[in-house]
Amino acid sequence: MSARPLHAVLLPPGGPGWPLARLLPAALDGTGPAIMPLDGGLPPARLAALLDALRPGAVQTPGQAERDDPRWRPRQAGPGVEPDIAVVVVTSGSTGQPKGVQLSAAALIASARASVRRIGAGPGARWLACLPAFHIAGLQVLVRSLLAGTEPAPCGQLDPAAVAAHPGAFVSVVPTQLRRLTEAGADLSALAAILLGGAAVPPGLLDAAAAAGGRVVTTYGLSETCGGCVYDGVPLDGVRARIGADGRIRIAGPVLFSGYRLRPEETARAFDDGWFVTSDLGSAGPGGVLEVRGRADDMINTGGAKVAAAAVEAALASCPGVAEVAVIGVPDEEWGQLVTAIVVPADPGRPPELAQLRSHVRDRLGGKAAPRQLRLVASLPLLATGKPDREALRALG
């Protein structure tokens, strides 16, 4: 069969990009081109670099077949995609280099069906679209809406009023969004269910959401697994998860991606006997429930010891005076890397001190994990998805 054309789609900046829903049906049923949603608000140089790396055959917007401006074209169009590929999701992973994750229509639909079965979102279910559709979590909201036969409700500014305006709706959020909802006093009982993923869940957030009436389902997944594929530590129907000898989580099942665009060698390295090898470390908790311990590439090598940044972040999140926190490793000649805490203080006038943070972490994780540096910031740099921007964090360190 001949290759299928791939069109990049520039989505409006500052919102979830829900108009992509108008192009998605043809991408899924094969009557239109495969689509590669991109953030239309990216700086021109960054957007040009993405287009040159991934080389779509055309660039369009949801309301325009093709952009005539030559600045929005890759210098050289690449080949099409395999006929079963419906969407290419762009992710930078941990390296900052753009990768095109090729997702088949079958994988996207299998993921969406398994998700709605697990949470009871049947025909007619309404979804709030408050995550960018150029990322997998936002895109899957659109796929689930198609299966339900409903229009997604654009809700880029998710706040208590938006929640109240859509009683009985389902929503997918990241921890930052859920925390802001609870702090704003939203009545989360108005929502049928809240899918929570994309980043580690801070201590106390689930309790706060439950106190506000929320039914929260924690999710784990990646672009390569069509988004969340493990709910509350239990794989969705048809999905299998296990921990390899290296401690990394491996995923198998119908939700897996079909490879990275124009990167056959990297695609081959991503699989081990049919299992997708993630960059996340995990363990089996009580009853075999999957527990995610953080990214393998977020391990900090300090003084000969390996410290999980995610574990230190979780410990510091419960420290008095800390509103938000991220942890990175900063190069150091003596220690190799210094555990560095980047903290948003709860009270800028009385920020926590390094000695306080060190004592708090030492009591919970031991001395090696205690931060040796502290950076105070007004806010953490975030990606469009609401996840911490690791590249920007390293620049702060």
Taking only the tens place, the pLDDT of each residue in 209-239 is 999 999 999 999 999 999 999 999 999 999 9
Q: What is the largest CA-CA distance in the chain?
A: 66
Nearest one of 126, 146, 114, 100 to 219, comparing CA atoms: 114
Residues 242, 219, 292, 331: what is their CA dihedral angle, to the nearest 10 degrees?
Answer: 130
Regarding predicted confidence, which is higher, 169 or 176? 169
Residue 211's H or E segment, with its range, is helix 205-211
Residue 50's H or E segment, with its range, is helix 44-54
* Backbone angles phi and psi of 42, in degrees to 5: -65, 150
Residue with tokens 């993921």: 111
- Assess whether pLDDT exceeds 50 at residue 95: no
Interval 173-200 mean pLDDT = 93
Residue 323 and residue 346 in contact, taking contact as beta carbons nearer than 8 Å = yes
- Assess whether pLDDT exceeds 50 at residue 149: yes
3-state secondary structure of 249: strand
- Assess whether pLDDT exceeds 90 at residue 118: yes
pLDDT bracket for residue 94 (50, 70, 90): very low
Regarding predicted confidence, which is higher, 389 or 256? 256
Query: Distance between CA 270 and CA 265 in Å, rounded?
Result: 9
Q: Where is average pLDDT lowest: 74-78, 247-251, 329-333?
A: 74-78
* DSSP 8-state assignment for residue 63: T
Query: Distance between CA 179 and CA 97 in Å, rounded?
Result: 30
Query: Distance between CA 272 and CA 171 in Å, rounded?
Result: 34
